[in-house]
Chains A and B, each alone.
Chain A
Amino acid sequence: MPARIIEHSFNPWQILAQHETSLAPGSFGACANFVGSMRAFNAGNQVSQMSLEHYPAMTQQYLDELCAHTIRRWELVDGLIIHRVGQIKPGESIVLTAAWAAHREAAFSACRYMMEELKTNAPFWKKEITDIGERWVHDAPTDI
């Protein structure tokens, strides 16, 4: 499965190591990855918890297509997207994107592309519990 949506905390490094065992030894020369995790602060407030809602059927379809498209575009050996939903605590991982390629340029570019595309288009929504109450998150263009 190139893209997975999971409802429990996950260890991205364990997933990366495990996924690499499914790839043929020597088939790639580069692996680039990105891990996004939950901050305990946002927009000047302390954040104690976050809930991540999504549109299940559309999210899975979108991430599957994004991963497949990225693999084709950069001729990757493989690509991977993991995204968390449900109740999340500060420090827990939210998202993992990874790209395995022959060389670093394709790996770096593909990894970033998957991350930026899902940030813009994948139907997930964050609601955080802060020291001043609950609120839906609105990403600012500067939050890159």
Chain B
Amino acid sequence: MSISVKFFASLREQLGTGSVEIDAVSASTVREVWQQATRCVEIPANTLCAINMHYTKLDDTVHDGDEVAFFPPVTGG
């Protein structure tokens, strides 16, 4: 299944890319998406994640066509 993966802010800079498309196996978790998209870079401890623009957890399941995003703690306002 096809998953669109996005990285923002300091994570984008560390990984050297803002987005990748991956072909994941069915019933992958967010954590597995990270591992596949980054080729097993260790996830920074404070990383936040979202599926289709909603906050989620690393062990949640992704589905075909989902957009999965990873980013550091937010600093708006």
Residues of A within 8 A of B (CB): 36, 52-55, 57-58, 61-62, 83, 94-95, 115, 118-127, 136-139
Contacts and interface: CB of A to CB of B under 8 A. Distances in A.
Contacts of B76: 52, 54, 83, 94-95, 118-119, 122-126
Contacts of B71: 55, 123, 125
Say what secondary structure dominates the interface of chain A. Answer: mixed
Interface size class of B (residues with CB under 8 A): 10 to 19
Interface stretch (B2-10, B24-32, B36-44): B2-10
A44 to B, nearest CB: 17
A55 B68 CA distance: 12
Most buried by B among A36, A58, A122, A138: A58
Contacts of B75: 124-126, 136-139
Contacts of B53: 55, 57-58, 61-62
Given A55-B50, A125-B71, 7 more contacts: A57-B53, A58-B54, A115-B77, A118-B76, A124-B76, A125-B75, A136-B75
Contacts of A58: 50, 53-54, 69
B72 A125 contact: yes
A120 B74 CA distance: 7
Contacts of B77: 36, 83, 94-95, 115, 118-119, 122, 124
B10 A125 contact: yes
Contacts of B6: 55
